[in-house]
Protein backbone atom coordinates (compact mmCIF):
# COMPACT_ATOMS: atom_id res chain seq x y z
CA UNK A 1 0.00 0.00 0.00
CA UNK A 2 1.42 3.35 -0.93
CA UNK A 3 1.83 5.84 1.88
CA UNK A 4 1.34 8.90 -0.27
CA UNK A 5 -1.93 7.52 -1.52
CA UNK A 6 -3.16 7.10 2.03
CA UNK A 7 -2.21 10.63 2.96
CA UNK A 8 -3.78 12.19 -0.09
CA UNK A 9 -6.92 10.16 0.40
CA UNK A 10 -7.25 12.05 3.65
CA UNK A 11 -8.91 8.98 5.11
CA UNK A 12 -6.77 7.12 7.55
CA UNK A 13 -9.70 4.78 8.13
CA UNK A 14 -9.45 3.74 4.51
CA UNK A 15 -6.18 2.01 5.23
CA UNK A 16 -7.39 -1.50 4.52
CA UNK A 17 -9.63 -0.61 1.66
CA UNK A 18 -6.95 1.55 0.08
CA UNK A 19 -5.66 -1.35 -2.03
CA UNK A 20 -9.17 -1.81 -3.43
CA UNK A 21 -9.42 1.88 -4.25
CA UNK A 22 -5.97 1.73 -5.76
CA UNK A 23 -6.96 -1.22 -7.89
CA UNK A 24 -10.22 0.36 -9.00
CA UNK A 25 -8.80 3.73 -9.87
CA UNK A 26 -5.47 3.15 -11.38
CA UNK A 27 -4.34 2.29 -14.85
CA UNK A 28 -2.28 -0.87 -14.51
CA UNK A 29 -1.08 -0.60 -18.12
CA UNK A 30 1.43 2.02 -17.00
CA UNK A 31 3.03 -0.20 -14.37
CA UNK A 32 6.26 -1.95 -15.24
CA UNK A 33 7.57 -4.87 -13.21
CA UNK A 34 10.97 -4.21 -11.72
CA UNK A 35 13.14 -7.25 -10.98
CA UNK A 36 15.94 -7.30 -8.37
CA UNK A 37 18.34 -10.24 -8.38
CA UNK A 38 18.89 -11.37 -4.78
CA UNK A 39 21.34 -14.14 -5.73
CA UNK A 40 20.94 -17.95 -5.73
CA UNK A 41 18.18 -17.76 -8.34
CA UNK A 42 16.02 -15.70 -6.04
CA UNK A 43 14.39 -12.44 -7.10
CA UNK A 44 12.25 -9.62 -5.77
CA UNK A 45 9.60 -8.27 -8.14
CA UNK A 46 8.16 -4.83 -7.58
CA UNK A 47 6.59 -2.30 -9.91
CA UNK A 48 7.17 1.23 -11.08
CA UNK A 49 4.66 3.63 -12.61
CA UNK A 50 1.83 2.88 -10.20
CA UNK A 51 0.87 0.65 -7.30
CA UNK A 52 1.15 -3.01 -8.35
CA UNK A 53 0.39 -4.27 -4.82
CA UNK A 54 2.90 -5.87 -2.48
CA UNK A 55 6.38 -7.08 -3.27
CA UNK A 56 6.76 -10.53 -4.82
CA UNK A 57 9.63 -12.92 -4.12
CA UNK A 58 10.43 -15.86 -6.40
CA UNK A 59 12.84 -18.74 -5.88
CA UNK A 60 13.66 -20.72 -9.03
CA UNK A 61 14.32 -24.44 -8.67
CA UNK A 62 15.20 -27.12 -11.18
CA UNK A 63 11.56 -28.09 -11.78
CA UNK A 64 9.50 -25.10 -10.79
CA UNK A 65 9.21 -21.76 -9.07
CA UNK A 66 8.18 -20.93 -5.52
CA UNK A 67 6.48 -17.53 -5.46
CA UNK A 68 5.59 -15.38 -2.45
CA UNK A 69 2.54 -13.11 -2.93
CA UNK A 70 0.90 -12.13 -6.19
CA UNK A 71 0.05 -8.40 -6.16
CA UNK A 72 -3.28 -7.11 -7.49
CA UNK A 73 -5.12 -9.35 -9.98
CA UNK A 74 -4.44 -7.14 -13.05
CA UNK A 75 -0.68 -7.60 -12.53
CA UNK A 76 -0.81 -11.32 -13.37
CA UNK A 77 0.19 -11.14 -17.02
CA UNK A 78 3.05 -8.76 -16.28
CA UNK A 79 4.33 -10.88 -13.42
CA UNK A 80 4.10 -13.96 -15.58
CA UNK A 81 6.04 -12.27 -18.38
CA UNK A 82 8.71 -11.08 -15.94
CA UNK A 83 9.09 -14.60 -14.52
CA UNK A 84 9.25 -16.06 -18.05
CA UNK A 85 12.29 -13.87 -18.74
CA UNK A 86 14.03 -15.45 -15.74
CA UNK A 87 13.02 -19.09 -16.20
CA UNK A 88 10.81 -21.36 -18.29
CA UNK A 89 9.77 -23.26 -15.15
CA UNK A 90 6.13 -22.91 -14.02
CA UNK A 91 5.04 -21.43 -10.70
CA UNK A 92 4.44 -24.57 -8.62
CA UNK A 93 3.75 -22.92 -5.26
CA UNK A 94 2.29 -19.52 -4.50
CA UNK A 95 2.61 -18.62 -0.82
CA UNK A 96 0.37 -15.85 0.55
CA UNK A 97 1.91 -13.81 3.40
CA UNK A 98 -1.65 -12.69 4.38
CA UNK A 99 -5.11 -12.28 2.91
CA UNK A 100 -5.06 -8.63 1.77
CA UNK A 101 -6.01 -8.11 -1.86
CA UNK A 102 -2.79 -6.35 -2.79
CA UNK A 103 -0.99 -9.63 -1.98
CA UNK A 104 -3.59 -12.25 -3.01
CA UNK A 105 -5.18 -10.59 -6.04
CA UNK A 106 -3.18 -12.80 -8.39
CA UNK A 107 -4.18 -16.04 -6.64
CA UNK A 108 -7.01 -16.92 -9.02
CA UNK A 109 -5.00 -16.55 -12.22
CA UNK A 110 -1.87 -18.32 -10.92
CA UNK A 111 -4.11 -20.96 -9.31
CA UNK A 112 -5.88 -21.60 -12.62
CA UNK A 113 -2.48 -22.16 -14.19
CA UNK A 114 -1.71 -24.88 -11.68
CA UNK A 115 0.06 -23.14 -8.81
CA UNK A 116 -0.64 -24.72 -5.42
CA UNK A 117 -1.58 -21.87 -3.10
CA UNK A 118 -0.09 -22.18 0.38
CA UNK A 119 -1.09 -20.05 3.38
CA UNK A 120 -1.72 -20.04 7.08
CA UNK A 121 -5.19 -21.48 7.73
CA UNK A 122 -6.72 -18.11 8.68
CA UNK A 123 -5.98 -16.76 5.21
CA UNK A 124 -8.22 -19.44 3.74
CA UNK A 125 -11.00 -18.59 6.22
CA UNK A 126 -10.79 -14.90 5.39
CA UNK A 127 -10.75 -15.42 1.62
CA UNK A 128 -13.77 -17.72 1.91
CA UNK A 129 -15.68 -15.43 4.28
CA UNK A 130 -14.63 -11.83 3.75
CA UNK A 131 -15.57 -9.40 6.54
CA UNK A 132 -17.12 -6.03 5.75
CA UNK A 133 -14.39 -3.48 5.06
CA UNK A 134 -13.99 -0.06 6.68
CA UNK A 135 -16.44 1.20 4.03
CA UNK A 136 -19.11 -1.20 5.36
CA UNK A 137 -19.22 -3.27 2.19
CA UNK A 138 -18.60 -7.00 2.27
CA UNK A 139 -16.44 -8.09 -0.63
CA UNK A 140 -17.47 -11.26 -2.49
CA UNK A 141 -15.69 -14.49 -1.51
CA UNK A 142 -12.61 -15.27 -3.58
CA UNK A 143 -13.16 -17.75 -6.46
CA UNK A 144 -12.34 -21.41 -5.78
CA UNK A 145 -9.04 -21.35 -7.64
CA UNK A 146 -7.86 -18.46 -5.44
CA UNK A 147 -8.38 -20.38 -2.18
CA UNK A 148 -5.26 -21.87 -0.58
CA UNK A 149 -5.21 -25.63 -1.24
CA UNK A 150 -2.45 -26.25 1.28
CA UNK A 151 -2.84 -24.62 4.69
CA UNK A 152 -0.82 -24.91 7.87
CA UNK A 153 -1.15 -23.80 11.49
CA UNK A 154 2.27 -23.03 13.07
CA UNK A 155 5.06 -23.90 10.66
CA UNK A 156 5.50 -25.65 7.35
CA UNK A 157 7.88 -25.89 4.43
CA UNK A 158 7.51 -26.39 0.71
CA UNK A 159 10.23 -27.71 -1.58
CA UNK A 160 10.81 -27.98 -5.29
CA UNK A 161 13.97 -29.12 -7.03
CA UNK A 162 16.79 -27.66 -4.98
CA UNK A 163 14.75 -24.98 -3.24
CA UNK A 164 12.98 -24.86 0.09
CA UNK A 165 10.74 -22.22 1.60
CA UNK A 166 10.45 -22.31 5.38
CA UNK A 167 7.15 -20.78 6.40
CA UNK A 168 6.09 -19.71 9.88
CA UNK A 169 2.98 -18.17 11.38
CA UNK A 170 3.16 -14.77 13.07
CA UNK A 171 -0.04 -14.89 15.15
CA UNK A 172 -2.33 -11.85 15.40
CA UNK A 173 0.23 -9.47 13.94
CA UNK A 174 -0.66 -7.37 10.84
CA UNK A 175 -3.52 -9.90 10.47
CA UNK A 176 -4.28 -13.27 12.09
CA UNK A 177 -2.90 -15.16 9.11
CA UNK A 178 0.54 -13.61 8.67
CA UNK A 179 3.39 -15.79 7.43
CA UNK A 180 7.06 -15.11 7.05
CA UNK A 181 8.83 -17.04 4.30
CA UNK A 182 12.54 -17.80 4.54
CA UNK A 183 14.71 -19.19 1.74
CA UNK A 184 17.79 -20.53 3.56
CA UNK A 185 20.09 -21.12 0.54
CA UNK A 186 19.62 -17.56 -0.64
CA UNK A 187 19.29 -16.10 2.89
CA UNK A 188 16.21 -14.19 1.76
CA UNK A 189 13.36 -13.46 4.15
CA UNK A 190 9.95 -12.22 2.97
CA UNK A 191 8.05 -10.60 5.82
CA UNK A 192 4.81 -9.55 4.18
CA UNK A 193 3.20 -6.53 5.77
CA UNK A 194 4.42 -7.38 9.27
CA UNK A 195 7.26 -5.25 7.99
CA UNK A 196 5.27 -3.24 5.47
CA UNK A 197 8.21 -1.04 4.51
CA UNK A 198 10.90 1.02 6.10
CA UNK A 199 8.46 3.88 6.39
CA UNK A 200 5.60 4.74 8.71
CA UNK A 201 4.46 2.04 11.15
CA UNK A 202 3.05 -1.48 10.99
CA UNK A 203 -0.69 -1.05 11.28
CA UNK A 204 -2.68 -3.94 12.68
CA UNK A 205 -5.76 -4.83 10.63
CA UNK A 206 -8.05 -5.17 13.65
CA UNK A 207 -10.96 -6.59 11.65
CA UNK A 208 -8.46 -9.07 10.24
CA UNK A 209 -7.34 -10.26 13.67
CA UNK A 210 -4.24 -8.07 13.96
CA UNK A 211 -2.88 -6.27 17.02
CA UNK A 212 0.20 -4.48 18.32
CA UNK A 213 1.15 -7.27 20.74
CA UNK A 214 1.34 -9.79 17.91
CA UNK A 215 3.16 -7.32 15.66
CA UNK A 216 5.97 -6.89 18.18
CA UNK A 217 6.09 -10.64 18.83
CA UNK A 218 6.21 -11.10 15.05
CA UNK A 219 9.21 -8.78 14.82
CA UNK A 220 10.91 -10.81 17.54
CA UNK A 221 10.37 -13.94 15.45
CA UNK A 222 11.63 -12.58 12.13
CA UNK A 223 14.60 -10.88 13.79
CA UNK A 224 15.58 -14.33 15.12
CA UNK A 225 15.20 -15.89 11.67
CA UNK A 226 17.40 -13.20 10.07
CA UNK A 227 21.13 -12.66 10.33
CA UNK A 228 23.27 -9.68 9.38
CA UNK A 229 23.52 -10.82 5.74
CA UNK A 230 19.82 -11.60 5.27
CA UNK A 231 18.07 -9.80 2.44
CA UNK A 232 14.68 -8.82 3.81
CA UNK A 233 11.86 -8.38 1.29
CA UNK A 234 9.30 -6.12 2.97
CA UNK A 235 5.61 -6.14 2.11
CA UNK A 236 6.17 -2.96 0.10
CA UNK A 237 9.08 -0.76 -0.85
CA UNK A 238 12.80 -1.35 -1.23
CA UNK A 239 14.83 -4.29 0.03
CA UNK A 240 15.66 -4.15 3.75
CA UNK A 241 18.01 -5.73 6.29
CA UNK A 242 17.92 -7.20 9.76
CA UNK A 243 19.06 -3.82 11.10
CA UNK A 244 15.96 -2.25 9.53
CA UNK A 245 13.76 -4.80 11.29
CA UNK A 246 15.47 -4.03 14.59
CA UNK A 247 15.02 -0.27 14.07
CA UNK A 248 11.36 -0.61 13.17
CA UNK A 249 10.72 -2.86 16.14
CA UNK A 250 12.30 -0.28 18.47
CA UNK A 251 9.95 2.44 17.22
CA UNK A 252 6.90 0.21 17.58
CA UNK A 253 7.90 -0.81 21.11
CA UNK A 254 8.51 2.81 22.11
CA UNK A 255 5.04 3.89 20.99
CA UNK A 256 3.41 0.76 22.40
CA UNK A 257 5.00 1.34 25.83
CA UNK A 258 3.85 4.95 25.96
CA UNK A 259 0.30 4.16 24.87
CA UNK A 260 0.11 1.22 27.25
CA UNK A 261 1.15 3.40 30.19
CA UNK A 262 -1.31 6.15 29.33
CA UNK A 263 -4.15 3.70 28.78
CA UNK A 264 -3.37 1.98 32.09
CA UNK A 265 -3.46 5.40 33.77
CA UNK A 266 -7.05 5.79 32.57
CA UNK A 267 -6.60 8.09 29.59
CA UNK A 268 -9.17 7.82 26.80
CA UNK A 269 -8.18 7.05 23.21
CA UNK A 270 -8.65 10.71 22.21
CA UNK A 271 -6.55 11.90 25.16
CA UNK A 272 -3.75 9.52 24.20
CA UNK A 273 -3.88 10.66 20.56
CA UNK A 274 -3.76 14.31 21.73
CA UNK A 275 -0.68 13.52 23.85
CA UNK A 276 1.18 12.70 20.58
CA UNK A 277 3.13 9.64 21.75
CA UNK A 278 4.73 9.27 18.30
CA UNK A 279 5.89 12.89 18.02
CA UNK A 280 9.61 12.25 18.40
CA UNK A 281 9.77 9.32 15.94
CA UNK A 282 7.32 10.61 13.36
CA UNK A 283 9.86 12.35 11.14
CA UNK A 284 12.18 9.35 11.22
CA UNK A 285 9.27 7.20 9.99
CA UNK A 286 8.37 9.70 7.24
CA UNK A 287 4.91 9.93 8.78
CA UNK A 288 2.63 12.91 9.24
CA UNK A 289 0.22 13.63 12.13
CA UNK A 290 -2.62 11.80 10.46
CA UNK A 291 -0.60 8.63 9.90
CA UNK A 292 0.79 8.75 13.44
CA UNK A 293 -2.61 9.42 15.01
CA UNK A 294 -4.12 6.51 13.15
CA UNK A 295 -1.38 4.18 14.36
CA UNK A 296 -1.73 5.41 17.95
CA UNK A 297 -5.46 4.62 17.82
CA UNK A 298 -4.78 1.11 16.53
CA UNK A 299 -2.23 0.58 19.29
CA UNK A 300 -4.64 1.90 21.93
CA UNK A 301 -7.39 -0.42 20.71
CA UNK A 302 -5.22 -3.55 20.68
CA UNK A 303 -2.64 -3.05 23.44
CA UNK A 304 -2.88 -5.48 26.33
Residues within the interface to Zn ion (CB under 5 A): 100, 193
Which residue, 193 or 293, has its beta carbon nearer to Zn ion? 193
**What are the residues facing 59 on neighbouring strands?**
42, 66
Distance, C-alpha 235 to centroid of its chain:
4
Contact criterion met (CB below 8 Å) for 179 and 96 = yes
Which residue, 176 or 272, has its beta carbon nearer to Zn ion? 176
Q: How far is the CB of 265 from Zn ion (least distance, A)?
A: 32
Q: How far is the CB of 236 from Zn ion (least distance, A)?
A: 9
Q: How far is the CB of 167 from Zn ion (least distance, A)?
A: 17
Please choose, from the candidates 177, 171, 194, 168, the residue with its C-alpha nearest in 3D space to the C-alpha of residue 125.
177
Contact criterion met (CB below 8 Å) for 78 and 70 = no
Which residue, 46 or 193, has its beta carbon nearer to Zn ion? 193
Q: How far is the CB of 215 from Zn ion (least distance, A)?
A: 12
For the packed helices 242-264 and 289-302, what is the interaxial angle rounded to 10 degrees? 70
Q: How far is the CB of 100 from Zn ion (least distance, A)?
A: 4
Which residue, 100 or 294, has its beta carbon nearer to Zn ion? 100
Q: How far is the CB of 122 from Zn ion (least distance, A)?
A: 13
Which residue, 126 or 285, has its beta carbon nearer to Zn ion? 126
Instruction: Look at phi and psi of residue 41 and say left if phi exceeds 0, alpha if psi is from -120 to 50, else beta.
Output: left
Q: How far is the CB of 119 from Zn ion (least distance, A)?
A: 13
Strands, E assignment, 106-229? 116-120, 150-152, 155-160, 163-170, 178-183, 188-192
Alpha carbons 39 and 170: distance in angstroms, whole number: 26
SS3 state of residue 189: strand
DSSP-assigned letters across all residues of 3-31: HHHHHHHT-GGGTTTHHHHHHHHS-GGG-
Which residue, 170 or 262, has its beta carbon nearer to Zn ion? 170
Which residue, 100 or 263, has its beta carbon nearer to Zn ion? 100
**Strand 163-170 versus strand 155-160 pairing type:** antiparallel
- The dihedral built from the CA positions of residue 214, 122, 237 and 182, taken in this order, carries a sign that is positive
> How many CA within 13 A on the CB side of residue 206?
14
Q: How far is the CB of 196 from Zn ion (least distance, A)?
A: 7
Which residue, 41 or 191, has its beta carbon nearer to Zn ion? 191
Q: How far is the CB of 266 from Zn ion (least distance, A)?
A: 33
Phi and psi angles of residue 60, each rounded to the nearest 5 degrees, phi first = -95, 125
Amino acid sequence: MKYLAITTLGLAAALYTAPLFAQGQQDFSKIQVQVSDLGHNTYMLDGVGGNPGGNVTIAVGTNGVIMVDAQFAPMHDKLKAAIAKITNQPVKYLINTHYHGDHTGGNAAFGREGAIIVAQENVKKRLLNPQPGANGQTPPPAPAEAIPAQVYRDKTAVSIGGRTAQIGHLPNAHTDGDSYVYFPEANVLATGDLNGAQRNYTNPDIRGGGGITGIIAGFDTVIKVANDQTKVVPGHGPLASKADLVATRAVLVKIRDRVQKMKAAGMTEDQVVAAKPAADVQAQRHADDMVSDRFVRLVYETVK
